[in-house]
Amino acid sequence: MNPEDHAKRAADILKQRGSKLGSYKVLYEQIAQVFHIYLESQGKLKPGQKFESTDAVEFLKVMKMIREWLGDADPDHGYDLANYVFLKMGLTKYDK
């Protein structure tokens, strides 16, 4: 497959998961809240520090990178990794 075909496949997966899981903004805010509660209960956050939805996506992005590095080659890791980049972009407030 060429890069454009991979990008289309990643977009199809993102659309399917969005249909199944609902709003990515709500989903990753909820994931961030769970992470925040856990990290706070473990004393891992500084006072006033918050685990944000973009942090949750970044964590999952790194997880996919590690799976790709340490596991068998699987295009799903690449598609998910690309989609986590796009999700983080959707959650980020850019000045431009």
Residue pLDDT, tens place only, 18-46: 999 999 999 999 999 999 999 999 999 99
Query: Based on the structure, what is the number of domains in the chain?
Result: 1
**Residue 72 in domain:** yes
CA distances from 82 to 12, 40, 56 (A): 12, 29, 15
Q: Which domain holds residue 68?
A: 3-91
**Residue 87 in domain:** yes
d(CA 71, CA 68): 6
**Residue 24 in domain:** yes
Task: Return the ∠ at Cα 78 (arms to 73 and 79), rounded to 5°.
Answer: 130
d(CA 4, CA 10): 10
**Residue 96 in domain:** no
Residue 12 has pLDDT above 80, yes or no: yes
**Residue 63 in domain:** yes
pLDDT of residue 96: 67
Cβ-contact 62, 68 below 8 angstroms? no
